[in-house]
């Protein structure tokens, strides 16, 4: 009953609010101390908000495929379950962690707080931190691709699944090759071409084509990085897909199994 009551507010509200908030996410590069200090205290406030917003986006993704049947839907739900703790942990470590360290740097080295910068840069680029972030991003990409397959008509689901597997490889290769410096690939034309090509590929094989393509783009864009422009754009694609899918389900209630029983409860 509670899930039914909050379903649409979460489906529509979580990606919209998260996109708006992270449209103001600063883009920072080493030296991290000077970059983050310039955006305090918003930097800390933003990442505390994201502790709530990213799990809410994960919950919205779960609600989208909650009643879908099949292996793709099961995979999507499993990937979402991995995304929420991994991505929240990464954003906390990278965002709240650096913000707290920057705020207290003057107490550690009062004469020259920037001398703390070398340690902060090492923390920012630590393989463990980056590995947690990469795992969370991968979980989101898998969740969105599996969701695209799950909402596809049954007779086209096999082809959509093959396309999703190919797209996952393409996105992985593009990230490994182009993301030598965090955030740089998002502004390279070739990266945008590859990303849009993934959406077109899914649109050609899936039906309904537009929601499946939008979910694919949601995975690729937000999976690249949650900062502007790719993060808000990815969440915008997710929201657009949700709107189209929900409208389709409203026009044909049989597409959502057991929904009348849930409402009656």
Torsional sign, CA 172, 176, 181, 185: negative
Whether 209 contacts 156, CB under 8 Å: no
Q: What is the model's pLDDT at position 111?
A: 59
Six token digits for residue 111? 């004469």
Looking at residue 25, the DSSP 8-state letter turns out to be P
CB atoms within 10 A of CB 178: 16
Instruction: Provide Rg for the chain, Cα atoms.
Output: 20
Q: How far apart are CA 142 and CA 114, in angstroms?
A: 40
Q: Cis omega before residue 31 (within 30°)?
A: yes
State if pTM tops 0.85: yes
State the distance between the two ends of the chain, measured CA to CA, in whole angstroms: 6
Host domain of residue 207: 2-264
Please give the torsion angle defined by the CA atoms of residues 154, 68, 218 and 206, in that order, rounded to the nearest 10 degrees.
Answer: 10
Q: What is the 3-state secondary structure (H, E, C) of the chain?
A: CHHHHHHHHHHHHHHHHHHHHHCCCCCCCCCHHHHHHCCCCHHHHHHHHHHHHHHHHHHHHHHHHCCCCCHHHHHHHHHHHHHHHHHHHHHHHHHHHHHHHHHHHHHHCCCCHHHHHHHHHHHHCCHHHHHHHHHHHHHHHHHHHHHHHHCCCHHHHHHHHHHHHHHHHHHHHHHHHHCCCCCCHHHCHHHHHHHHHHHHHHHHHCCCHHHHHHHHHHHHHHHHCCCCCHHHHHHHHHHHHHHHHHHHHHHCHHHCCCHHHHHHC
* Total number of domains constituting the chain: 1
Tell me the C-alpha distance between 109 and 119, whole Å.
12
Question: If you ran DSSP here, which 8-state letter would residue 115 be given?
Answer: G
Taking only the tens of pLDDT, the chain with its 265 residues reads 556 677 889 999 999 999 999 999 999 988 898 899 899 999 999 999 999 999 999 999 999 999 899 999 999 999 999 999 999 999 999 999 999 998 888 676 655 666 678 888 999 989 999 999 999 999 999 999 999 999 999 999 999 999 999 999 999 888 776 655 544 445 578 889 999 999 999 999 999 999 999 999 999 999 999 999 999 999 999 999 999 999 987 766 555 443 333 333 3
């Amino acid at each position: 009953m509670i899930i039914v009551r909050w379903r649409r507010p979460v489906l529509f509200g979580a990606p919209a609010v998260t996109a708006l908030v992270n449209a103001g996410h600063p883009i920072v590069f080493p030296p991290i101390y000077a970059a983050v200090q310039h955006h305090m205290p918003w930097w800390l406030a933003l990442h505390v908000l994201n502790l709530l917003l990213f799990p809410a986006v994960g919950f919205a993704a779960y609600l989208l495929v909650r009643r879908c049947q099949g292996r793709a839907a099961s995979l999507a739900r499993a990937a979402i379950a991995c995304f929420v703790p991994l991505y929240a942990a990464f954003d906390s470590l990278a965002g709240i962690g650096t913000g707290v360290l920057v705020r207290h740097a003057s107490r550690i080295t009062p004469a020259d707080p920037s001398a703390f910068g070398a340690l902060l840069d090492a923390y920012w680029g630590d393989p463990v931190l980056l590995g947690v972030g990469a795992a969370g991003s991968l979980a989101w990409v898998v969740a969105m691709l599996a969701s695209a397959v799950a909402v596809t008509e049954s007779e086209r689901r096999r082809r959509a699944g093959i396309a999703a597997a190919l797209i996952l490889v393409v996105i992985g290769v593009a990230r490994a090759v182009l993301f030598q410096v965090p955030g740089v690939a998002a502004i390279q034309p070739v990266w945008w071409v590859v990303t849009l090509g993934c959406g077109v590929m899914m649109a050609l094989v899936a039906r309904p084509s537009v929601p499946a393509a939008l979910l694919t783009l949601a995975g690729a864009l937000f999976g690249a990085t949650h900062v502007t422009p790719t993060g808000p754009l990815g969440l915008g694609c997710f929201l657009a897909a949700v709107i189209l899918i929900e409208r389709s389900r409203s026009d044909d209630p049989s597409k959502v199994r057991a929904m009348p029983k849930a409402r009656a409860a």
